[in-house]
Structure 1
C-alpha cells in the first residue's frame, strides 16, 4: 500500500514537472512587463496590504484581554471624609484578569490564521490574473501591430494597382470607374489602418496601466508570436488546476476557517472566568490598630440567553455549507473555463494550419495569376481587386488566429495555475497550511 502511494506521488510529480516544462518561454520584453506588473500594479499592492492586515490580526485575537487595575476609596464618612474614624474606611487596590474558557483563544487564533491564508492565496491568484491580463493585451497589441504592417503593405500594393490602372486608362485600355474603384478601396484600407492604430494606442495604454511601466517600454518593437509547440490535454489541465491554482487553497482555508468558527460558537456556550485580588490599606490610628486586609475571588459570566448562541452556531454552520458550495461552484467554473479556452486554442491552431498550408498560398497564387492576366486583358479590374483584398483578409485572419491562440493559452495557464512566477509563493502557502 505504501509503495502504491509513493508511486502515485511520483507520477503526479512527473505530470507537474512535464506540464511546467511545456510552458512557452515569454519574449524578453513581455517578461520585463510581467515583472514590472508584479512590482508596480496598484491592485496587487492593495492585495498585499490585505495580507499584512490579516497577519497582524492573529496576535490580536489570540492574546489575553488586558488586566484591569482599579483603585477605590471606600466608606469615607460624609461628615468629615477622614480615614481614621470608621473601621470600615480604607483605600482599595484591585487587580483582575479575565481568562476565556480553555480553547477560545487558540480557536480565535486559528480562525485568524486561516483568514491570513485565505488572503495569501487570493493574492497569489490575483498575480496569476494580472499576468494573464498583461499577456492578453500583449498578444492583442501584437496582432494590432502586425495588422498595421499588413495593411500598410496592402495599401502599397493597391497604390501599384492604382498606378497601373491609371496608366491603362491613359492609353485607352482601362475604364475611369476602375481608377475610382481602386481609390475607394484604398480609402477604405486607410480607414481600417487608422482604426488599428487607435486600437494599438489603447492596448499600449492598458499595458502601461497594468504594469506601471513607461510608455516607451510598450512602444518597443513586438516580435511575431512564436508557434505554440504543445497543446495540453484537458484532463491534465484539470488536475494541474487543483494542484496549482491558489484559489483552491484559498477555499480550503475558507472551509477550515468556517470550521473554526463553528468550534468557537460551541465554545461560547462555556463561561469565561474572571480572577481578582485586592489589597485594602487602613489607617494605623484606628481603634483596632488599622490592620490592612487582602481579598481574592473569581466571577464567571452566565451564558444566557442561549438563543443568541444558538443563532451564532446556526450562522457558522450555514457559512460552512456556503463555503463548500462556493468551492464546488468555483471548481465547475474552472473546468468550464479550461474546456472553453482549450477548444478556442485548438480551433485557432487549426485555423493557423489551414491558412499557412492551404488558404494563403492558394490566395497568393490566385493574386499573382490574376495580376498577370490583368496586364494582358484576360481578366477585369474587379477580379484583380477582389483577389488582392481576399489575400489581405486571409493574412489578417491568420494573424488574428495566432494572437487568439496565445491569448487562449494565457487564459489556460492562469486558470490552471501554471505560472512559474507564483509557483514558489504557492508552494510556501501549501507548506504553511491550511490545517483542518
Structure 2
C-alpha cells in the first residue's frame, strides 16, 4: 500500500469509524503500529546518461583500490634504495676449556664485529626505479578503467533507454489498436455492420499480444536497470536499509560527445590518427611495462659486478696471570664476490630480460593495431548506421505509414481484409522500433569510439 494512501486510510479511520472510541494519542499509536507493518518503500532516483557515468566513476571501488596499491608501491620504491642492515656479531673467542679462566690464555678475547654488505653496482638505485616504474603504471590503469566504465555504463544505460522508448511506442500503438478494436466491435454489433466475428477475435488477439510484448519489454528494461545499478548504487551491507531503485532521466535523445572533427580529420590523416591512438592508456601501459622490463635487464647486468662487504671487529682481552695488561685487538676485513662460476646463470637472466623487453615492443604494436582496427570498424559502422537512419526517416517510415492508411481505408470501404490492416499496423510499429534500435546502436558505437579515442586524463593533469 503506498504511503499516501495509507495516510488517507488513517484519516478515514479516525474521522468515521473509531473517532468515538479512540483519543488522539491512541490513534497516533495505532497508525504508527500499522505503518511499521508496511514493507519498505523503495527510493527511486533518476539518472541521466551523464549522471550515471559520473556516479559510476566517482564511487568505483577498483579506483580506490588502485590508489592504495600505488601508495604501497611508491613506499616500497623509497625503501628499496637503502643499504642492507649491518650485521653485528658478539662472541667469546678462544676460551680455555680446562679452567674457563678468561685471563689464562693470551688468545682469549671478547669480540664485537660489525659487517656491512654493498650490493653489486647500481642494484639499489635500479631496484628503486623499478618500483617507481611499476607505480607509474597505476595512473594509466586508472585512466583505462575510467574509460571502460564510461563505455560499459553508457551501453547499459542505452540498453535500458531503448527498452523504455520501445515501451512508449508499443503503448502508443496499443491506443490505436484499442480504437480500431472499438470500431470493429461497434461494426460487428451493429445490424448493418460489415465486420466479421473473426475480425473481432483478431483485434482482441492483437491487443493481448501487445500486452505480452509490453511485459517482455518491461522485464528486459528491469534487467538492464539491475545491471546498471551495480555501478551507480552503493553496496548495502545492512539488509534492513530500504532498497534503492533507479530510473532513467530522459530529455530527448541521449548525447554522446564525440567531436565531429575527430571522425573527419583523423580518418583522412593516418599520422594524426596514429599519434592520437599512441596516447591511449592501454598503449601507455605497455610502454610503462616495457620500461620496467628494461630496468630488470639493467639489474640483471649488475650481477656481473662484484658485491662488496666490510667487517670491523674489536677484541677485548683481559690481563695475564701475572696481572700485566694485554693490548686489545682491532680488525678490519674487506670481502668481494668473484662472479666466475655463476656466469652461465647471469647470462641466462640477462638474455631472459632482453627477450622480455622485446616481447613488450611486440605487444605494444599488437595493442596499437587492435585500436586502429577498432577505430576503422567503428567509424565505418557509424557511417552505415547514419545511412540506415536516413533511409528509415525519408523512405521506409513514410511508406509504412502510407501502407497502413491505405489498408485501413480499403477495409473501411469493404474492399480489404482486416488482417491486412493489422499486419500494416504491426509493420509500422516494428519499423519505429527498428529505427529506435538503429539509433541506440549508433550511440553505443559512439561510446565504444570514445573509449578507443580515450587519453590519460590523470596522467596529463600531472
Query: Which TM-score band (shorter chain)?
Result: 0.7 to 0.9
Is residue 263 from structure 1 mapped to residue 284 from structure 2 by the alignment? no
- Tell me the C-alpha RMSD between the 2 structures: 2.4
* TM-score normalised per structure 1: 0.84
Query: Which piece of structure 1 moves more, 228-237 or 338-347?
Result: 228-237
Work out whether residues 139 and 225 of structure 1, in 8 Å CA contact, stay in contact via their aligned partners in 2.
Answer: no
Distance 1:328 1:384, change over 3 A: same
CA distance in 1, matches of 2:321, 2:429: 112
Match of 1:167 in 2: 186
CA distance in 2, matches of 1:388, 1:240: 51
Secondary structure of the residue that 1:218 maps to in structure 2? strand
Work out whether residues 70 and 95 of structure 1, in 8 Å CA contact, stay in contact via their aligned partners in 2.
Answer: yes
Secondary structure of the residue that 1:244 maps to in structure 2? coil
CA distance in 2, matches of 1:321, 1:108: 21
Match of 2:16 in 1: none
Residue 305 of structure 1 and its aligned partner are, at CA, apart by 1.9
Residue 285 of structure 1 and its aligned partner are, at CA, apart by 5.3
Distance 1:212 1:276, change over 3 A: farther
Is residue 352 from structure 1 mapped to residue 389 from structure 2 by the alignment? yes
- Of residues 40, 44, 62 in structure 1, which corresponds to 2:59? 40
Match of 2:362 in 1: 325
CA distance in 1, matches of 2:213, 2:276: 40
CA distance in 1, matches of 2:226, 2:459: 30
CA distance in 1, matches of 2:227, 2:362: 35
Match of 2:263 in 1: 232
Distance 1:286 1:153, change over 3 A: farther
Residue by residue over 1:244-303, the C-alpha shift from the partner in whole angstroms, topping out at 9 and shown as x without a partner, is 311221111111211111111111111111112111122245655132221111112232
- Of residues 423, 427, 430 in structure 1, which corresponds to 2:460? 427
Match of 1:97 in 2: 116
Residue 384 of structure 1 and its aligned partner are, at CA, apart by 1.0
Match of 1:296 in 2: 332
Work out whether residues 244 and 426 of structure 1, in 8 Å CA contact, stay in contact via their aligned partners in 2.
Answer: no
Match of 2:401 in 1: 364
Secondary structure of the residue that 2:263 maps to in structure 1? coil
- Of residues 88, 97, 102 in structure 2, which corresponds to 1:78? 97
Match of 2:11 in 1: none
Match of 1:393 in 2: 430
- Of residues 189, 201, 208 in structure 2, which corresponds to 1:180? 201
- Of residues 69, 76, 96 in structure 2, which corresponds to 1:50? 69
Residue 168 of structure 1 and its aligned partner are, at CA, apart by 2.1
CA distance in 2, matches of 1:357, 1:82: 113
Work out whether residues 310 and 333 of structure 2, in 8 Å CA contact, stay in contact via their aligned partners in 1.
Answer: yes
Residue 99 of structure 1 and its aligned partner are, at CA, apart by 0.9
CA distance in 1, matches of 2:371, 2:312: 60
Distance 1:243 1:327, change over 3 A: closer
Secondary structure of the residue that 1:81 maps to in structure 2? coil
Distance 1:346 1:178, change over 3 A: same
Match of 2:85 in 1: 66
Structure-to-structure mapping, 1:401-420, within 5 angstroms: 401-417=438-454
Query: Which piece of structure 1 moves more, 142-151 or 172-181?
Result: 172-181
Residue by residue over 1:205-240, the C-alpha shift from the partner in whole angstroms, topping out at 9 and shown as x without a partner, is 121112335975631433332477837135368336
> Gaps (5+ residues) in structure 2?
1-45, 236-242
CA distance in 1, matches of 2:337, 2:199: 97
Is residue 283 from structure 1 mapped to residue 312 from structure 2 by the alignment? no
Work out whether residues 41 and 212 of structure 1, in 8 Å CA contact, stay in contact via their aligned partners in 2.
Answer: no
- Of residues 202, 220, 223 in structure 1, which corresponds to 2:251? 223
Structure with the greater alpha carbon radius of gyration: 2
Distance 1:403 1:78, change over 3 A: same
> Gaps (5+ residues) in structure 1?
1-26, 432-436
Distance 1:153 1:84, change over 3 A: same
Distance 1:368 1:282, change over 3 A: same
- Higher helix proportion, which one? 1
Work out whether residues 265 and 316 of structure 1, in 8 Å CA contact, stay in contact via their aligned partners in 2.
Answer: yes
